[in-house]
Amino acid sequence: MPGQHYKSLQGVRGVAASIVLLMHLCDLAANFSPGLWGTLARYATLWGHAGVDVFFVLSGTIMCLVAGSPRSPRGRVALLRDFAVKRAARLYPVFLVTFAFSAWVWITIQGSPRPTPGDLRDALLLWTSSPLHPVSWTLMWEMRFYLMVALLVLVFGRNMKLGFLAWLGYEAAAMSGLLPFSSFANPIMLEFMYGVAIGLLILKGWTSPAPAATFALGVLGLLAAGFYTGGDATTVGLTRMYVYAVPAALALYGLLSMEARGRTTPVDRIGWLGDISYSLYLWHFPIFLVLHSYWWRACGGGAVCGTGYGVSSVLMTVAVSAASFYGLERPFVRISNALLSSRGRKLPKPSVLPEGSQVAAA
């Protein structure tokens, strides 16, 4: 419902980030112990890629819930300014720090070539992804989604529900072949729009008549999707849009419907994991690579060495991510709020997510 705080959104973010983290961890640990960790890696890979699709759908839902019910009487330019400042404050500080660290890891430890100035510029602007920070490819799509939302803010102002409906029509026309695919109309962007559609349903009060069954159906669909694709990361395009994103949307719709009806959800108690999930997502892979190099030099292969690597990687990543959340994400959000407040442009704090939460971290 409009104005309601949905704890399940944070829990889902935590689950999605953990799925991706587990897939990468098992894949790297399999180098130490192909038997134990290799088996775990095969199963983790089945569903690890789906975590990204969950992020995309979740991001669309959150943005719709926040932007679809504005409470400010100010004009479109002011709304656009607020939107840009808040998104930049939440997206860029952690990204820039992790990009620098990840680039150092890939260049000095993995032996990757240095990027050209043009490639570096495009990667830092999040217009393209960079091999020096592999997981940032999802942020490239996140940025394009933000740019489209910014355009909707400028065109539709406070009537964002109409803007989102117009974009849904645009995406539907592209998917049906009436319009060509583009950076803003393609299967990946449609995953965000699944989330937007869920947000519009929740804002209208149209919850699922059977929330638990809807959630269970979505989870079962994701499990089936893993077996159907075999964990093939190249399963993209229309196939990925249906196989991964539709079950993710159903599961999220079920959870939000539960909360809208005043019920607890299975992910309510892991909101803390959702708080650090953006940092967790961006920090985990370069940390895994550094510790992989250390453990390999220290003891080589074997199940014991692989387990030591796995445990230390998780502990280090969680610790660094928590420090990143409290030391980077939250302070910059508060700075942006103070900046907007000092200029008389502060929006009421959205009730959909706690303060400092990144809208989508993928």
Token code pair at residue 362: 């993928």
Cα dihedral value 278, 190, 44, 93, nearest 10: -20
Q: Which residue type sits at 54?
A: V
Please give the pLDDT value at position 240.
Answer: 76
Q: Which of 58-62, 122-126, 357-361 has the lowest mean pLDDT?
A: 357-361
Residue 40 has pLDDT above 80, yes or no: yes
Determine contact, residues 287/25, Cβ cutoff 8 Å: no
Label each residue of 284-342 as H, E or C. Answer: HHHHHHHHHHHHHHHHCCCHHHHHHHHHHHHHHHHHHHHHHHHHHHHHHHHHHHHHHHH
Average pLDDT over the chain reads 87
Residue 360 has pLDDT above 50, yes or no: no
Query: Cα separation of 217 and 73, whole Å?
Result: 40
**Confidence category of residue 175, pLDDT binned at 50, 70, 90:** confident
Query: Cα separation of 63 and 326, whole Å?
Result: 23
Query: Cα separation of 270 and 13, whole Å?
Result: 9
Query: Cα separation of 149 and 360, whole Å?
Result: 14
Determine contact, residues 303/36, Cβ cutoff 8 Å: yes
**Confidence category of residue 104, pLDDT binned at 50, 70, 90:** very high
Residue 238 has pLDDT above 70, yes or no: no
Residue 85 has pLDDT above 70, yes or no: yes
Using alpha carbons only, give the angle 181, 187, 192 rounded to the nearest 5 degrees: 115
Average pLDDT on 81-109 reads: 93
Q: What are the start-end ranges of the E strands in the chain?
A: none
Residue 119 has pLDDT above 70, yes or no: yes
Please report, for the chain, the start and end positions of each structural domain, with discontinuous segments joined by +. 7-342
Token code pair at residue 335: 């700075």
Residue 72 has pLDDT above 90, yes or no: no
Residue 356 has pLDDT above 60, yes or no: no
Residues of the chain above pLDDT 90, percent: 59
Most confident of 155-169, 220-234, 308-322: 308-322
Helices 187-203 and 160-175 cross at an angle (nearest 10°) of: 140
